[in-house]
Structure 1
């Protein structure tokens, strides 16, 4: 893996030299824009609309639009001088992971011991593992300051960059949320039964990107010069009645033990097999 950052984790007066590696990779299928007339890939060109000419990187400054059409300009050196670009992941506090809502998480990095400090790395890893705590830290990567969560994944210290609180939009901005949700008790019982039947330990290996697989399959057929025919999806039944939809869903996941009367749901053992429900709620 490519090293994206070098520095140290600090907590108290302890410094742990580390190297940072990206823990995830983008597997989106990359495609270029092509000129249909001649089949040539199109290039991205930075063009000045006023001068009507292409602009090279060395001719570009950064600007903040404080009024419509009016900018204050910055050179790269000015912004670099203002950044907190230290080579330190400074742990400020230790907290329980469950206290951080997933909405805060951005990107995961693996941290490996630096060329020195392997003992300190192992000490921090084992101390966090046995305490059950994670570190809340501040770090600067590529001139951008970020909060971070330092935690243990198997035998590795990992860092999750997280949003600052003022970067999270308040729920109050979401339109059309019900002020006083009215829930039917019988429907609620059925819904909870359906959740129970669909509950299982998280096994990430069983989830795949179906769209990416279809696109790659399509690419392979096109490269081979084969004629492509995309099969239409099977029609779906539009179930309008909520109770009927819940009942049908329960029957699909455990056909042998669903109560026959939706109005009188009873507890049932977990299903041994699952089938995809054809009914959806409109």
Structure 2
């Protein structure tokens, strides 16, 4: 893993030197912008429209537009000074219970490992948090941006989740079109609860996959192999207006045993099997490695079979 940050966790007078690593990675397939005529990649230049010249990096500064077309400029030294000495410190302010934090606050996860001779202090903090069941709320500056963070334990590792400040969370009152509170139809509510019970299962993240990425890798492989791809038009789906009919159909699709709608005890109903994409290129191999996109090779002849993709 690549170290993205080095500093220390501080709580009270205790100082824990740590290194930070990204706990997640973006596996989206990146597509380039190309010129349709020649296939060349489109270049983006740093051009000043006022001077009509391409700007060098040394001539670029950051600024804030306080009014339309009016900016105040900031030098790098000014921004660095705002970050201050705490830019290399994860300062724990409070210890709280994890269940008190709504998931809407969480942003990105990082792993923390001990740095230099900080193993003993690291292990002390990890065990203390494990035994108290608490997580730390801290402040940190990453790339000149101040963030709140939650320090918690994942297995035998300290992890840090950057979280939004309260004023960055939009109010529910700003959401348009929310229905007014009302009592649901008893029969519909019973069937909805039955459906939730029927579809309830322990969380197993490995059974979920990015089907779009699987299909994209498969499509790329076939295009590199020279296959001609035809896209079949999609049929418009009709909206289901009858809520009861939709609930009943959903229960039947979930293989609810006969007579199960009489109450919430559905018995030992068969759980629906987890669906997986049977694409030619799976997203993850059996050994956990990510499939690699193919290198270009000579296209096949036009006599080869054409396929239709729906």
TM-score with structure 2 setting the length: 0.83
Look up the SS of the partner of 1:197 in the other structure.
helix
Q: Partner of 1:28 in structure 2?
A: 28
Tell me the secondary structure at the aligned position of residue 151 of structure 2. strand
Partner of 2:96: 95
Are positions 1:247 and 2:248 aligned together? yes
8 Å contact 2:10–2:92 — kept in the other structure? yes
Give, in angstroms, the shift of residue 45 of structure 1: 0.8
Q: Is the 8 A contact 2:137 2:150 kept in 1?
A: yes
What secondary structure is seen at the aligned counterpart in 2 of 1:181? coil
Partner of 1:13: 13
**Equivalence for 2:270:** 272
- Partner residue, 2:3: 3
Mapped to 1, the partners of 2:238 and 2:67 lie a distance apart of: 53
Check whether the contact 1:196–1:270 (CA below 8 A) recurs between aligned residues: no
The answer for the alignment partner of 1:57 in structure 2 is 57
- For 1:190, the equivalent position in structure 2 comes to 191
Q: How does 1:1-282 map to 2 (within 5 A)?
A: 1-84=1-84, 85-230=86-231, 238-259=239-260, 265=263, 267-274=265-272
In 2, are the aligned partners of 1:253 and 1:271 still within 8 Å (CA)? no
Shift, 1:256, TM fit: 2.9
**CA apart distance, 1:100:** 0.4
- The farther-off stretch of 234-243 and 3-12 is 234-243
C-alpha distance in 2 between matches for 1:72 and 1:235: 51
Matched position secondary structure for 1:93: strand
1:11-63 superposed Cα distances (whole Å, 9 cap, x missing partner) = 11111111000000000101110011111111111111112221111111111
Counterpart Cα distance in 1 of 2:87 and 2:74: 21
Are the counterparts in 1 of residues 256 and 266 from structure 2 also a CA contact under 8 Å? no
2:277 maps to what in 1? none
Deviations 1:69-94 (A, max 9, x none): 11111111111111245311111111
User: Offset of 1:182 from its aligned partner?
Assistant: 3.7
Give per-residue Cα distances to partners, 1:244-268, cap 9 Å, x unaligned: 1111111111243354xx7x55531
The 1-side partners of 2:167 and 2:72 are apart by 24
Structure 1: give runs of 5+ residues left out of the alignment.
277-282
Pick closer, same or farther for the CA change 1:72–1:270 going to 2, 3 Å: farther
For structure 2, the residue ranges without an aligned partner over 5 or more in a row are: 275-310
State the alpha-carbon separation in 1 of the partners of residues 239 and 212 from structure 2.
24
Structure 1 distance, partners of 2:39, 2:179, is: 52
User: In structure 2, what is the Cα distance between the partners aligned to 1:158 and 1:30?
Assistant: 28
Distance (whole Å) between structure 2 residues aligned to residue 236 and residue 272 of structure 1: 28
Give the Cα separation in 2 of the matches to 1:9 and 1:177.
Answer: 43
CA separation of 1:115 and 1:275: change in aligned 2, threshold 3 A: closer
Using the TM superposition, give the Cα deviation of residue 98 of structure 1 relative to its aligned residue in structure 2, in angstroms.
Answer: 0.6
Report the CA distance between 1:142 and its aligned residue: 1.1
Q: How many residues align?
A: 273
The SS at the match of 2:193 is helix
